[in-house]
Amino acid sequence: MQRQRVIALLTAPALLASAMGFTMTAQAATPTTVTFWNAMSSGTLKPALNTLIAEFNRTHPTIRVVGVAEPDYGVLEQKLLASIAAGNPPVMSQAYENWVANFVNDGALVPLTSYIHGKNGLTPSQIKDFWSILWKDGQLKGVQWMIPFNKSDIVLYYNKTMFKQAGIKAPPATWPQFVQDAKKLTTGSHWGITFVPGTNASGGEEQFESMIAAWGGHVTNKSQTRLTIDTKAAIEPLTMFRDMVKAGTMKLSTGYGDQSDFGAQKAAMIIGTIAGYYYVKKADGGKFPMGIAMLPAGPKGIRTAIQGTDLVIYKHATAAQRAAAWTFMKWLTSPGPAAYWAVHTGYLPVTKTAYHHLAGYYKTHPNQGVAALQLKYGYFEPANPNWEHVADKIAQNVDACLLGKETPAQAMKLAQQEGQPILSGQP
């Protein structure tokens, strides 16, 4: 019943038009075309976004949104950089915060302030309806450049059957309990967790950052000009993971090997974003009941890195295209479409109203509701233009430590030394 309600919110154009302040108009002779570059090319993401685009085009005949899906974020970023350099970017796209910092420096984007507060803008109540942590993340130096879209946070996936067999009644609430549970879950050809160091979509660098935060640390200073990872708050959790690898309760993998091990019931737990929900669900194939829990708490509580991209508009587009892109952006993040997107992809509903629309759905699908409950413990990676390459250095040294090539203290010291020049923009 709840799912039918969500679909009704999406497919009732008159209701959506009224709620968002739109007026249905006759078909324009030449609709304004909005090219929307994205990386929603696999799993349930592509059909969900295509459905939303088709519904928007149907209910907004003066605008035609054309989605262009790239294979992954790496390809999308490179194509965006090339298009900006050539003076021919799309009208709008998905973008990570550190990409946006670069694009703003290049003068490629349009600040959204005039649209937000314009005639077709957002009311104060609509602005407040966005989760504040997601809304504020769209700002650089007090200017709103981004609107949140496909947002997720990091959660713990666990095999309920394996937990029951090990005599464990609930997922671990703290990291020390996590270590003990992993030990209980390790027997013969089965082990506690598979972990993927790295910075890809299933990688562990962001997960390691969450642990640093749970130990009370920060990856950079407040101005994001200095790395601060050569600290006890980073060394202690890395030591914990290294000891688990030595004990055999944690296995390392690459790519999406963690999902494969979890689906094959070799690993009882994996850590990843809620955006991976449908991929993990596909990997387990319904062979066992899967649970999702908040990340365990460290000495300073629960912390989780918020992942995913935002929506931006490019300056190169015409005024009409920019206005049309804003109309689509506003519609896409409104309660009905946002709720539909969350149900069909696993991503977070970006507004409180969309979340409330899904209250009944989350009661019958509690796994998908965990990430939204965890938002209050969320934080964002630095929006420094060079952060992506700094994160690579951190990941390389974390990997080296877990493979026994460096001690935790050496790994963090080297990550600090190698990452700082990159953070500072030095060649």
Instruction: Decide the pairing of beta strands 290-293 and 147-159.
Output: antiparallel
**CA–CA separation, 53 and 8 (whole Å):** 16
CB 411 within 8 A of CB 261: no
CATH topology identical between 2-151+308-373 and 152-305+380-423? yes
3-class state of residue 109 by DSSP: strand
Q: What are the residues facing 426 on neighbouring strands?
A: none
**CA–CA separation, 148 and 310 (whole Å):** 4
User: In b/e form, how buried is each residue of 321-338, taking b as 16+ CB within 10 angstroms?
Assistant: bbbbbbbbbbbbbbbbbb
CB 214 within 8 A of CB 301: yes
Nearest to 212 by CA among 200, 203, 204, 223: 204
**CA–CA separation, 390 and 10 (whole Å):** 41
Cβ neighbors of 190 (< 8 A, separation 6 or more) are: 162, 265, 266, 267, 268
- Token pair of 53 as six digits: 């685009």
Q: What class, spelled out in words, does domain 2-151+308-373 have in CATH? A: alpha beta
CB 218 within 8 A of CB 227: no
- Token pair of 307 as six digits: 């992942």
Cβ neighbors of 260 (< 8 A, separation 6 or more) are: 253, 283
DSSP secondary structure string for all residues of 202-231? T-SHHHHHHHHHHTT--SB-TTS-SB--SS
Neighbours of 301 (CB within 10 A): 11
| 87 DSSP assignment | T
Nearest to 394 by CA among 186, 248, 204: 204
Q: What is the pLDDT of residues 390-427, one digit of tens each?
A: 999 999 999 999 999 999 999 999 999 999 999 998 75
CB 269 within 8 A of CB 182: yes
Question: Which H/E stretch holds residue 137?
Answer: helix 132-137
Per-residue pLDDT of the chain (427 residues; tens, 9 = 90+): 444 444 455 544 433 443 334 444 444 469 999 999 999 999 899 999 999 999 999 999 999 999 999 999 999 999 999 999 999 999 999 999 999 999 999 999 999 999 999 999 999 999 999 999 999 999 999 999 999 999 999 999 999 999 999 999 999 999 999 999 999 999 989 999 999 987 554 557 888 999 999 999 999 999 999 999 999 999 999 999 999 999 999 999 988 899 999 999 999 999 999 989 999 999 989 999 999 999 999 999 999 999 999 999 999 999 999 999 999 999 999 999 999 999 999 999 999 999 999 999 999 999 999 999 999 999 898 988 899 899 999 999 999 999 999 999 999 999 999 999 999 987 5
Nearest to 133 by CA among 321, 303, 335: 303
3-class state of residue 260 by DSSP: helix
Question: The domain at 152-305+380-423 falls in which architecture?
Answer: 3-Layer(aba) Sandwich (3.40)
CB 317 within 8 A of CB 250: no
Domain assignments of the chain as residue spans, ordered by start = 2-151+308-373, 152-305+380-423
